[in-house]
Amino acid sequence: MSSIPQNRVSGRRRRSPLPYTWQKGYLLAGPAFVVMLAIFVYPLGYSFLMSFFRWDLSGSAPFIGTGNYTDELFGRQFNQALRNQIIFSVVSITVEVVAGMAIAVLVNGELRGMRLARTLLLVPPMIAPAVVGLNFRWLFNTQYGLVDALLRMFNLPNIPWLSDPTWALVSVIIADVWQNTPLMVLLFLAGLQSLPQEPLEAATVDGAGPWQRFWHIVLPLMRPVIMIALMLRIIDTFRTFDVVWLMTQGGPGGASNLLTVYAYLLAFQAVDFGHAAAVSYIALGMSLVVLGLLYGVPWLIAKRRAI
């Protein structure tokens, strides 16, 4: 007992003055900390709490436990949005990564005009998603749109891009692929240009063809870059809103509704913040699970191999 410090016995911790460098550090970090607290941590925590209440502007907001989550998980509209979200994420990421890698390999060569091509690749990611959405809405208009006008020119039938349930989802995937594939190209291009040349030269000397060099050397060496690209796109596809909202508003009949659009409709049209918050957290949870699998599974495999 005698070894217990005095300040513990008296119930008060002795507060030592902060060293000057710490004070300076706190002072400099203070504004950023307050801003982070105000605009990030507080709304995030508040909306998480909101997801456990019936929060609909009716005055009372009773605690309903996981009611909002179970309502949505067993609800028709949520399941339609979830199905769309999975199709949208899987298809657009797959196309963007495969096409991105192919284009990156192409523009990595020394062909004429590649410098211009690399510059042009910067354009789509620089355009605001809202502008992309509006442009594609007009491009895909059956009566006035450029795409159907071209189809008519070649005596091909019109495609009901935005008015058919299947084509509506395809249309928003096309818009997303158009905007984000160049970003993948730029990431992969940076990766390709930083690859060590020795293994490639050795493989060439050993008689490996271009495809074998790509499959057995380039692709394994590019794995960290691909993982980063996948991570960015998984996070992005679970946040996609503007393009879908401006092209289809999730319609027709919810056929292109993604989780973000569905959450927005719940919050601002149904004025049901509790369910909207629950949907947002389910979406967040799903993207975290997918990212966890993306990083966790290879890590587990590597660990098991090491054992």
Asked if 77 is part of the footprint of another protein (rule: CB under 8 A), the reply reads yes
What is the residue-wise DSSP string for 136-167? HHHHT-TTT-HHHHHHHHTTPPP--TTTSHHH
Residue 14 found at the interface with another protein (CB under 8 A):
no
Please count the residues of the chain.
307
Name which of 141 and 204 has its Cβ closer to another protein: 141
The token duo for 117 is 């091509």
Binding residues for another protein restricted to 152-171, rule: CB under 8 A: 160, 162-165, 168
Task: Give me the least distance between CB of 16 and another protein, in Å please.
Answer: 8
Q: Quick one: which segment of 99-107, 173-181, 209-217, 264-272 binds another protein (CB under 8 A)? A: 264-272
Of 204 and 249, the one with the shorter C-beta distance to another protein is 249
Contacts of 123 (CB under 8 A, 6+ apart): 182
Q: Which is nearer to another protein, 132 or 185 (CB)?
A: 132
132 vs 265, beta carbon nearer another protein: 265
Look at residues 224, 218, 189, 220 and name the one whose alpha carbon lies nearest to residue 201: 218
Residue that the structure tokens 């191999």 belong to: 305
The pair of structure tokens assigned to 288 is: 């975290």
Q: Is 293 helix (H, G, I), strand (E, B) or coil?
A: helix
In sign, the C-alpha dihedral spanning 288, 290, 291, 296 is: positive
Query: Is 244 near another protein (CB under 8 A)?
Result: no
Q: Does 135 bind another protein (CB under 8 A)?
A: no
Q: Considering only residues 3, 143, 155, 193, which one is a binding residue for another protein as defined by CB under 8 A?
A: 143
Closest approach, Cβ 92 to another protein, in A, equals 21
214 closest CA partner among 205, 228, 224, 204: 204
At 10, is the secondary structure helix, strand, or coil? coil
Among 175, 272, 279, 282, binds another protein (CB under 8 A): 272
Catalog residues that contact another protein under the rule CB under 8 A.
15, 17-18, 20, 23, 26-27, 30, 33-34, 38, 54-59, 76-77, 141-143, 160, 162-165, 168, 248-249, 251-255, 265-273
